[in-house]
Amino acid sequence: MTIATTGAARRAEIVSAWSFDVFDTFLVRACTTPDGVFERTYELSGISRTCPNISVSFVQHRIQAEGRARRAAKDKRGAVEVHIEDIYSFFPFNLFGLTRRDLSDLVESEFAAEIELCRVNPDMLRQYSDMKRAGHRVGFISDTYWDSERLARLLRACRPDLVWDFLYASCDHGSGKSEALFATYLSEQGIDAGSSFHVGDNEKADIKGAKRHGIRPRYYPQASAQLASTFQRETALFGLLCAGSPSRLDHGARTLRRMVAARSAEKSAAFNLGLTVLGPVMAAFDAFVTRRCEEAAGAGRKVALGFLGRDGFLSHRVWQNLHGETAAYVEISRRVSLIASADTMQPLVDLLSKVFKIDAPTFGDMVKIMPPKVATFFAGFPGGIVSGDALAEALPELMDPAEIVELAAGLRARLLAYLRHAIPGFDDCTDLVLADVGYSGSVQKALRRVFDLEGIDIRLHGAYLMSLDDTFDDIAEQDSAAGFVSDLVVTPHVKRMLIRNVALLEQACCSADGSVRDYDGGAVLREINPRPAEQLALAAEIQAGALAFAASADDVARDYGLAPYAAPDVAARWCAATLARLLLLPDHDELALLGTLKHDVNLGTHALAPLRDERFVRDQITARGLSAACTAAAPPMWLAGSFAGLSPSHSYLYVLFGANRLPADVFEERPCGPVQVGLFRAGGDATLEPITVYRNGLGELRLRIPLSRTMAVATIALPLAKFAPEGLIHGVTVQQGDDVRDAAESQDVTGLADDSLIFAGLQRTGSHYRAETDNGCLLIPVAPMTQEIAIYSVAITPLGAGPK
């Protein structure tokens, strides 16, 4: 009986509690990273007016001041906890035109920034309220330089009716959660650690710190490790692509992405890619399209909206989910629109000049006729396949322009019948907004010619995710075109790098159908779709994730008081960084997920072009150098992914080149000495030729050995032992041309098979070799030449001593 009574008394004495971390747990900030508070402080303090365009410097000095304050506290008191005033006492006031009398103003400006940017996390608030209703004691424990009085003001500013049983700020107690703050809390509050919980986002302070004192932790990370890595890469790219713009104040766009991801169940890698990357881009683009429609509206105007298929498929689905059936999905390809707009031969010539290769059946399917001269022209080429440039040049002599005019008139009539079917009230609308991934407005311009030829007075307005803005100068005066990610957001250099790699985005956004080739009674007639079923399924899964983000983003934004699209220029910059991160700096998992995709070219062929080809890039670097590889024409369609497949460093070098931040005098090649190369003819006689060895900015050696067909060389002997006795060999390539210059500039680079090379007097393991004798050579077989000149290139990374 006594034992039972004692146990009951003990249970009655037990006090359980739930404690919450404050920043990034109970409160979240509407900025990309916590130091966004400092960037806003720079603005609110007025320093941005007296010292404009130096927010980065201000933020870094604020961070450095905190570091110095904590080191000084450690030296003086043995603890790193400091108050905000201590931090600003180490700030360089003179640099920013201030005096030490401005210290309190800076403190108040930073506190005002906290109040402006902080929001209560509704998920944490619900948990907090549930625990309080259940009779638990609840309160806050925070590692912070804000004292408890200011911390209380901040919490009540975010939630005026908030009450708590305890509140601990580390700076008031000279100790943080990783040290003695939890012990102080337990002792002063009389809390039983074993029946209490602490919720926080910091694994060291909140989780390990709570465990060390017997408190049960509840981990609340702000983002998964993969999403956090994605954000870090985006921030790095933002600094490169949008230099000079505030990089931390995004009106809560990143916070929105974190919270949508936190509320969503983990699914496939493809779904998560859509949810965390593509979905945010499409939601921001949807807000841009909405603004474009509003700009076109006005008194007496009736605006219709059409999303251009196939690449506009996903953005149309996002629009449907958010706005209902208020827009059309309009399948008009560049090929159809250009032919339909033709009143001369020129539009067809322009179209064909963009075709890589084409055969007679494809041409016939395209133009619906096969004049005898055209058939004869195709028959004169091997396999009946000709380049688009050659056909475009010859076409005016092969066809009667009247045939094109008649062909165009028929297609134009079918196109207009389709538009009237697809766009309700087409004949009554005054303005038609065309939304698309981009880029130069070719369909919009062709449709303008179609409307003019048919006397249709409808203004056209392009709304493009990405735009080549210098191609918009010939837009009709009554029309307009604008890109969300325009050249006012990123530079033209960057834009062209993005569009060079945009095939990945197109495959993720487009429909599972083939491209339109014609119309019949308002119905679409399509090309075959050569993409494999597994690729279509992957794209569908990515799109499902993007739609999931769009479906929940508005509700989450309201819950957290976020307005990510309130400032169009800010939204566009972060959209550019988000897109650029995916297209230009993919991580290992994304490469594995997306690298097998292929791109259907659509013009003149049903062939699929690879998105990724690391060997292509490696051979281009070997033969032509890094800069030439960075400007290589497609295929592969995803050049950045091909660089990333070589290494993350190669990927970043490609980005630097595209951002015009890769100095040639650092990364290009410089001569570092000659070497005598042996050239052996089939008959056995040989000559020695001096060849210059070059070293590039990565420390790799390059040798280029030109041969003429008349030399009849059968084998090249490269004396590695003489200039690079140990190293890594990256490959041997060959280019051909009518002269040395043509061969050197040729992108048609062939890599020699590794097993065709002979390592004489060299020990070899994979790509690594080591000379066993002073005469160790690499023997390179010379293949029969089809042109006058061949250039054999060798790329080596020397290990140990080499030419200086």
Distances (CA, A) of 683 to 679, 705, 754, 781, 783: 12, 20, 25, 14, 15
Residue 15 has pLDDT above 80, yes or no: no
SS3 of 457, please?
coil
Neighbours of 296 (CB within 10 A): 21
- Please report the pLDDT score of residue 370 as a whole number: 84
* 211-241 pLDDT, tens digit each: 999 999 999 987 888 899 999 999 999 999 9
Distances (CA, A) of 49 to 45, 54, 96, 245: 9, 10, 11, 15
Contact 102, 93 (CB under 8 A): yes
* 60-91 pLDDT, tens digit each: 999 999 999 999 999 999 999 999 999 999 99
**675 and 647 within one domain:** no
Write down which residue in 665, 681, 710 finishes a domain: 665
Query: pTM here?
Result: 0.91
Per the rule left: phi > 0, alpha: psi between -120 and 50, beta: everything else, 24 is left
- Please report the pLDDT score of residue 12 as a whole number: 40
Which residues make Cβ contacts (< 8 Å) with residue 741, sequence separation at least 6? none
Residue 11 has pLDDT above 50, yes or no: no
Residue 13 has pLDDT above 60, yes or no: no
The reply to whether 244 falls in a domain is no
Q: Find the length of the chain.
A: 804
**785 and 658 within one domain:** no
Question: pLDDT > 90: what percent of the chain?
Answer: 80
Residue 769 has pLDDT above 90, yes or no: yes
Residue 24 has pLDDT above 60, yes or no: yes
**63 and 187 within one domain:** yes
Binned at pLDDT 50, 70 and 90, residue 402 comes out as confident
* 633-663 pLDDT, tens digit each: 988 999 999 999 999 999 999 999 999 998 8
Binned at pLDDT 50, 70 and 90, residue 4 comes out as very low
The reply to whether 457 falls in a domain is no
The reply to whether 494 falls in a domain is no
- Please report the pLDDT score of residue 801 as a whole number: 60
Going by C-alpha positions, the residue among 365, 374, 364 that lies closest to residue 399 is 374
- Please report the pLDDT score of residue 7 as a whole number: 43
* 137-161 pLDDT, tens digit each: 999 999 999 999 999 999 999 999 9
Binned at pLDDT 50, 70 and 90, residue 30 comes out as very high
Residue 800 has pLDDT above 80, yes or no: no
**652 and 699 within one domain:** no
- 3-state DSSP of 175-200: CCCCCCHHHHHHHHHCCCHHHCEEEE
Distances (CA, A) of 397 to 355, 392, 718: 19, 10, 52
- Please report the pLDDT score of residue 5 as a whole number: 40
Residue 802 has pLDDT above 80, yes or no: no
**683 and 640 within one domain:** no
Rounded to whole angstroms, the Cα distance separating 103 from 81 reads 19
Which residues are bridge partners to 170 per DSSP? none
**For tokens 């490169």, what's the residue?**
240
Please tell me the total count of domains within the chain.
4
- Please report the pLDDT score of residue 602 as a whole number: 58
**2-6, 328-332, 356-360, 659-663: which is most confident:** 328-332
* Overall average pLDDT of the 399-409 stretch: 86
**734 and 643 within one domain:** no
The reply to whether 284 falls in a domain is no
The reply to whether 193 falls in a domain is yes
Binned at pLDDT 50, 70 and 90, residue 777 comes out as very high
Binned at pLDDT 50, 70 and 90, residue 372 comes out as confident
**768 and 625 within one domain:** no
Rounded to whole angstroms, the Cα distance separating 676 from 692 reads 9
Rounded to whole angstroms, the Cα distance separating 438 from 420 reads 24
**60 and 102 within one domain:** yes
The reply to whether 53 falls in a domain is yes
Chain centre distance of CA 791: 36
Distances (CA, A) of 153 to 128, 145, 161: 18, 14, 12
- 3-state DSSP of 99-141: CHHHHHHHHHHHHHHHHHHEEECHHHHHHHHHHHHCCCEEEEE
Handedness of CA 677, 681, 687, 689 (dihedral sign): negative
Range from 355-359, 510-514, 519-523 carrying the lowest mean pLDDT = 355-359
Q: What is the mean pLDDT of the chain?
A: 92
Residue 764 has pLDDT above 90, yes or no: yes
Write down which residue in 167, 199, 221 finishes a domain: 221
Distances (CA, A) of 498 to 163, 238, 582, 780: 50, 14, 10, 38
Range from 25-39, 360-374, 561-575 carrying the lowest mean pLDDT = 360-374
* Overall average pLDDT of the 412-422 stretch: 96
Question: pLDDT > 70: what percent of the chain?
Answer: 97
**718 and 628 within one domain:** no
Which residues are bridge partners to 141 per DSSP? 168
- Please report the pLDDT score of residue 6 as a whole number: 43
The reply to whether 186 falls in a domain is yes
* Overall average pLDDT of the 411-428 stretch: 95
Range from 310-314, 315-319, 331-335, 450-454 carrying the lowest mean pLDDT = 331-335
* 159-201 pLDDT, tens digit each: 999 999 999 999 999 999 999 999 999 999 999 999 999 999 9
* 284-322 pLDDT, tens digit each: 999 999 999 999 998 999 999 999 999 999 999 999 999
Contact 321, 547 (CB under 8 A): yes
The reply to whether 260 falls in a domain is no
* Overall average pLDDT of the 502-531 stretch: 92
* Overall average pLDDT of the 342-371 stretch: 79
Residue 804 has pLDDT above 50, yes or no: no
Tell me which residue range forms the domain holding 690.
Answer: 669-798
Write down which residue in 376, 398, 420 finishes a domain: 398
Token readout for 90 is: 């180490």
SS3 of 30, please?
coil
**169 and 101 within one domain:** yes
Range from 340-354, 405-419, 732-746 carrying the lowest mean pLDDT = 340-354
- Please report the pLDDT score of residue 396 as a whole number: 86
**713 and 646 within one domain:** no
* Overall average pLDDT of the 245-263 stretch: 93
**719 and 654 within one domain:** no
* 455-495 pLDDT, tens digit each: 999 999 999 999 999 999 999 999 999 999 999 999 999 99
